[in-house]
Structure 1
Amino acid sequence: MKTFLRTGALGLLLAGAAISFARAEPTAPGAETLFRATTLNLAAQGETKAAPDMAAIGLGVTAEGPTAAQALSDNAARMSRVLAALKAAGIADKDIRTSGLNLNAQYAYAQGQAPRLTGYQATNQVSVTVRNLARLGAAVDATVGAGADQVNGVTFGLADPTAAENTAREAAVRALQAKAELYARATGYRIARLVSLSEGGSSDGPRPPVPMMAMARAQKVETPVAPGELDIRIEIAGVYELTR
């Protein structure tokens, strides 16, 4: 079967939609009639909101020393205390992952002179998943008290986004169907059937990490954390066959 597609714009009313006409020649011997189908290609988005139930946070420790060995040793001692504080706050081993380990030489610069080595700096970062948001503020405070001097930010999420995504999918299908019916009426057609449906992906919305600064160790008030809500979005595309 040979298929020829012809597409064209129908003015401002049909902006964002595509209507195409497909002509197919029957393969049966002696057939002479031509079949003409009009299709409508559309995209839509469904969205829902959900309260997050988990968070990811980045923590780090920096130490300096006159030698590389001394800087690494001091850093390791401080990070060991930070990890112990995390575990005491109820964070499981599987939810703590080293994300960065660096050792850099430090130099002093003076005009007209060669750089002078002054020591070494060691940094160690971990990515922590907190599955009980009620413990998030206390966990951050505990790690800072144990020696963490970097708190890179908090990103909220869902441990199982399936239910929220399915709600967004249903909303996307309803939006797609409504849009198809509108375009069909506007062009003098009616919907014959849904030919194809595809999903473009999902996202929890453009939500940047919440910045956090390292708190003083003497701080007694627990760091407040407001998780808010996540925007769960699903994008779909569909092809409808139209008829008069």
Structure 2
Amino acid sequence: MIRKLLISATALPLLALVPAAAQTQPAAQPPMLLDATLLDVVAEGRTTRVPDLATINAGVVTQSATAAAAMTANSAAMARVTAALKRAGVADRDIQTSTIGLSPQYRYAENQPPVITGYQASNRVTVRFRDIARSGTILDALVREGANSIDGPTLGLADPDPAMDEARTNAVKRARARAELYARAAGLRVERVLSISEQQQPPVGPMPVMMSARMEAKDATEVVPGEQDITAQLWVRFLLR
């Protein structure tokens, strides 16, 4: 007799594991499923890492009476910001233009059509800092050079794969321990693993960190990396006897 113990919100139908021909030809049924119990376990593995990569979105917003003047002023300011990043040691590959924008500014009056009063230009770049300890100093330098729009930083890992593999290994161990527990409680033993599937989860990091860039050297911006959780979730099916 085949029994099934389900410890999961979702599970594959048991009949999918038994060939259709087995209903008319019992001898063709896999011997391992005779008098067996199926157990589905969902387990989450976890590990922690200190972030080694900071990402910010920084830019310049300028306004002028004409579109051309707004773009010219913006281009000059952004050139100074980019130069400051490079002087701080940020590699070219870690600086990427994210958005460039130009929009008219309007004055509104009751019962009158809007009137264009000027133009606003914006240019933003995404910047990665591979030395988080220096990111606060770099942010302050950006403000001094004219960056007036900064979002971030977000903190993460430059190479998350080793941490993810550690979390996956931990998830398998947790699943096995839970299966052993249920097997003992039911007077059975874990014979083997039948299947393993990994739940695709949104990345845990990088995590957003609120910051404020200041120009005063006596009150420099500080970025504290802390620790980051890396998780992996697995669905594991065990055969118990």
- Structures share a fold, TM > 0.5? yes
- Kept after mapping to 2: 8 A contact 1:62/1:149: yes
Which residues in structure 2 correspond to 1:1-244 (within 5 Å)? 14=7, 16=9, 20=14, 23-24=18-19, 32=27, 36=34, 37-201=36-200, 205=204, 208-215=207-214, 217-243=215-241
Sequence identity of aligned pairs in percent? 42
- Kept after mapping to 1: 8 A contact 2:194/2:237: yes
- Kept after mapping to 2: 8 A contact 1:45/1:233: yes
Tell me the distance in 1 between the aligned counterparts of 2:21 and 2:65.
Answer: 84
- Kept after mapping to 2: 8 A contact 1:204/1:230: no
**What's the offset of the Cα at 1:204?**
5.4
- Residue segments in structure 2 that go unaligned for 5+ positions in a row: none
Tell me the distance in 1 between the aligned counterparts of 2:69 and 2:84.
Answer: 23
Tell me the distance in 2 between the aligned counterparts of 1:188 and 1:20.
Answer: 21
The CA RMSD measured in Å over matched residues stands at: 2.8
Tell me the distance in 2 between the aligned counterparts of 1:208 and 1:131.
Answer: 15
* 1:146-176 CA distance string (max 9 Å, x none): 0000111111111122332222122111110
Tell me the distance in 1 between the aligned counterparts of 2:90 and 2:195.
Answer: 46
Equivalent residues, number: 233
**What's the offset of the Cα at 1:186?**
2.8
Q: TM-score by structure 2 length?
A: 0.85
Q: TM-score by structure 1 length?
A: 0.84
**Per the alignment, in what secondary structure is the counterpart of residue 48 of structure 2?**
strand
* 1:179-218 CA distance string (max 9 Å, x none): 1112222333221111112222466537641123343x45
- Residue segments in structure 1 that go unaligned for 5+ positions in a row: none
Larger proportion of strand: 1
Larger proportion of helix: 2
